[in-house]
């Protein structure tokens, strides 16, 4: 590893540790890279000459250099070699004196084809955000009232700080993206709108305090967080969540949350809710259910293994009830794949513990999934990681499934499929996972934690990607 990449890790309070010139977004692709940047120094942009320099990371030989147009906020460089690691940095000099004004922190990227549109990228050996991690995770998406799309991801690494979330905006329906803002401390965050106000619900870190942030200017800046639930730790357990749906039903907002940790042996399941007319930034208005532990005595549960539940979806049933449909860890058990668990929510007693409902057949239970109800077709849809091998952690297929009743699920079609690209590389190091998505007219608009083209492994992704699946009802 080139040690200069770790010389100046990001300051957690604002993630801008590198002086006045910062690379804010990278989007590598097929023989190319797009680089967004910002300048915050005392000189005006027209008083500066900005230059981009790209080197082959292996040899450190210079392969590209160019002056950036003075009114540009990004640059796209073509004709690079696919499958190659490059180092990039930006330099600012005073136009009149030639004196150095700033040098960006160097960043790493690898070129190559990536499915969808790359929103942001972090190379697994890029330590720019090392105070949080070095892998984009926890995708979230929302459509704002001005028509723009917002997407976010936190920055993850095992046993890392895991406390920084990046927010991006698209003003052309997902075709192009730009960096918008940071949220700190924020991990496992979900963007959502309520009464035309934008919120982010997350934790301060892995198993940290449950927090909610508010933005009054479409995500450009964020309030100080309100503290909903005390945090814990990896060793003792604490709140666990993901960018799961926030559902408005029966006069309340509801979303699923878990409590526990992998170190303590698993997670218990619950939901939090709030009166839809109350102030979401007042912690006293939120109610959390007691947390229900998993039980092997429930009818239909698997035998053996180390089963547990996680990352539930609050869903309104066809009859108007409320349930929590959860990811089910079945690896090593019998059966070891193809089941999910439904827990019942008492919509009239929001402080009541959930109760066991039933075990259902469900393709894609081993990874986080999001369920949405489509009023047009009157079907429930989910994007899941269908498994086709004995290795049930497989995540190189993204599949659309549907149900009329939440019990019986049908595979509609594979949306992305890399299963034929070779074993083991495209199983161990490829993933299209943790997808958050919305209905967008006749399409599905989705953001994905994408591991491809040199990711550390399938879990520790290197891309946040946007996908538009057109005319999904057909």
Token code pair at residue 118:
């790359």
Give the rounded percent of residues in the chain with a pLDDT score beyond 70. 96
State pLDDT tens for residues 250-305.
999 999 999 999 999 999 999 999 999 999 999 999 999 999 999 999 999 999 99
Secondary structure (3-state) at 148: coil
387-418: burial string, b at 16+ Cβ within 10 Å, e else: beeeebbbbbbbbbbbbeebeebeebeebbbb
The domains found in the chain, sorted by start residue, are 3-110 (2.60.40.10), 117-469 (2.120.10.10)
E strand or H helix that includes residue 25:
strand 21-29
State pLDDT tens for residues 43-67.
888 899 999 999 999 999 999 999 9
Pairing assessment for the beta strands 107-110 and 443-451 based on DSSP bridges: unpaired
In angstroms, the CA 460 to CA 84 distance is: 19
Name the average pLDDT for the chain: 94
Radius of gyration of the chain (CA): 22
DSSP 89-147: EEEEEETTT--EEEEPPPEEEE----SSEEEEE--TT--TTTTT-SEEEEEEEEE-TTS
Token code pair at residue 327:
């990811």
pLDDT at 19: 62
Give the number of other CB atoms < 10 A from CB of residue 38. 14
- 42 pLDDT more than 90: no
- 7 pLDDT more than 50: no
Instruction: Give the list of residues 6+ apart from residue 375 with CB closer than 8 angstroms, or none.
Output: none
DSSP 190-241: EEEEETTEEEEEEESSTT--EEEEEESSTTSS-PPPEEEE---BTTTBEEE-
- The residue-averaged pLDDT of 2-20 equals 41
State pLDDT tens for residues 75-116.
999 999 999 999 999 999 999 999 888 899 899 999 999 999
State pLDDT tens for residues 317-351.
999 999 999 999 999 999 999 999 999 999 999 99
Confidence of residue 453 (pLDDT cuts 50, 70, 90): very high
Instruction: Give the list of residues 6+ apart from residue 3 with CB closer than 8 angstroms, or none.
Output: none
- 0.85 surpassed by pTM: yes
In angstroms, the CA 461 to CA 314 distance is: 26
Give the number of other CB atoms < 10 A from CB of residue 62. 11
- The residue-averaged pLDDT of 20-25 equals 92
Q: 328 and 307 in contact (C-beta within 8 Å)?
A: yes
- 18 pLDDT more than 70: no
Angle value at C-alpha 31, between 27 and 37, nearest 5 degrees = 30
- 13 pLDDT more than 70: no
Q: Of 411, 379, 410, whose CA–CA distance to 315 is shortest?
A: 379
- 40 pLDDT more than 60: yes
Q: 389 and 427 in contact (C-beta within 8 Å)?
A: yes
């Amino acid at each position: 590893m080139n040690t200069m990449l770790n010389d100046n890790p990001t300051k957690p309070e604002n993630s801008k540790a590198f002086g006045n010139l910062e690379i804010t977004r990278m989007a590598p692709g097929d023989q190319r890279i797009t680089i967004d940047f910002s300048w915050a120094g005392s000189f005006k942009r027209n008083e500066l000459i900005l230059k981009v320099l790209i080197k082959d990371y292996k040899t450190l030989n210079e392969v590209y250099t160019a002056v950036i147009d003075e009114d540009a906020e990004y640059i796209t460089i073509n004709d690079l070699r696919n499958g190659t690691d490059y180092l990039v940095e930006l330099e600012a000099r005073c136009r009149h004196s030639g004196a150095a004004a700033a040098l960006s922190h160097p960043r790493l990227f690898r070129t190559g084809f990536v499915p969808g549109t790359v929103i942001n990228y972090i190379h697994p050996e890029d330590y720019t955000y090392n105070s949080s991690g070095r892998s984009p995770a926890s995708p979230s998406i929302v459509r704002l009232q001005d028509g723009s799309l917002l997407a976010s991801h936190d920055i993850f690494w095992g046993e890392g700080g895991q406390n920084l979330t990046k927010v991006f905006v698209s003003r052309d329906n997902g075709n192009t993206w730009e960096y918008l803002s940071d949220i700190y401390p924020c991990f496992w965050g979900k963007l959502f709108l309520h009464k035309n106000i934008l919120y982010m619900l997350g934790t301060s870190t892995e198993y940290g305090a449950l927090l909610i942030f508010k933005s009054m200017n479409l995500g450009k800046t964020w309030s100080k967080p309100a503290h909903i639930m005390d945090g814990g730790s990896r060793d003792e357990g604490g709140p666990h969540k993901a960018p799961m749906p926030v559902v408005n039903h029966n006069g309340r907002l509801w979303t699923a949350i878990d409590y526990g940790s992998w170190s303590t042996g698993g997670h218990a399941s619950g939901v939090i809710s709030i009166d839809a007319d109350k102030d979401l930034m007042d912690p006293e208005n939120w109610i959390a259910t007691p947390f229900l532990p998993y039980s092997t005595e429930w009818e239909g549960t698997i035998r053996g293994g180390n089963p547990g539940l996680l990352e539930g979806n609050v869903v309104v049933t066809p009859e108007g009830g409320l349930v929590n449909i959860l990811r089910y860890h079945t690896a090593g058990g019998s059966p070891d794949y193809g089941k999910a668990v439904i827990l019942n929510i008492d919509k009239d007693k929001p402080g009541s513990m959930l109760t066991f409902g039933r075990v259902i057949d469900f393709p894609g239970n081993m990874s986080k999934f999001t369920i949405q109800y489509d009023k047009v077709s009157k079907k429930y849809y989910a994007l899941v990681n269908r498994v086709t091998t004995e290795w049930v952690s497989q995540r190189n297929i993204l599949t659309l499934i549907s149900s009329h009743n939440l019990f019986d699920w049908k595979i509609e079609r594979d949306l992305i499929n890399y299963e034929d690209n070779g074993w083991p590389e495209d199983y161990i190091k490829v993933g299209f996972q943790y997808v958050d998505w919305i209905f967008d007219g006749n399409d599905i608009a989705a953001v994905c934690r994408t591991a491809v083209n040199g990711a550390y492994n399938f879990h520790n992704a290197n891309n946040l990607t946007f996908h538009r699946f057109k005319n999904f009802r057909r």
